[in-house]
Every structure is written in structure tokens, then in C-alpha cells.
Amino acid sequence: MNDDQDQAQARMKLARLQLEHDDYHAAIDAMIAQRCDPLQIQRLKKKKLELKDRIAVVKSTLIPDIIA
């Protein structure tokens, strides 16, 4: 695979992860509004945080290393 294909795949993965992160955010907000089980909400928040970390990793592969 060449760099362009790798970059395209990374961008697609980033878009999927961001969409999933947004879905968790909306679900958490809805659960809070409906006063759902705090333990369930906490579990979703943990998954959302894990996604945020994965997004950061993918973003770091898209940003070229710049030596100052």
C-alpha cells in the first residue's frame, strides 16, 4: 500500500470513530435526561473516553512529524 492509500484509510477510520464518539455522546445525554442507571452511564462514558484515545492515535498518524 502506498502513503495515499494509508492516509485515506486512516481518514475513513477517523471518521468512523468520530461518528461513534458522537453517538455515545448523544446516548449519554439522553440517558442522563431520562435519569437512567448511573452505572450504565458511567460505562458508556468509559467507552466514549476509550474512543477519544483511539481518535487521538489515528489523528497522530495523519499529522506529519515536524522537527522544530
Residue that has been written with the C-alpha cell 461518528 in this structure: 19
Looking at residue 59, the DSSP 8-state letter turns out to be H
* Domain ranges, ordered by start, for the chain: 3-60
Task: Name the residue type at position 9.
Answer: Q
Q: In tens digits, what is the pLDDT along the chain, a chain of 68 residues?
A: 578 898 999 999 999 999 999 999 999 999 999 999 999 999 999 999 999 999 999 999 888 766 65
Contacts 24+ apart (CB under 8 A), 20-24: 20/51, 21/48, 21/51, 21/52, 21/55, 24/48, 24/51
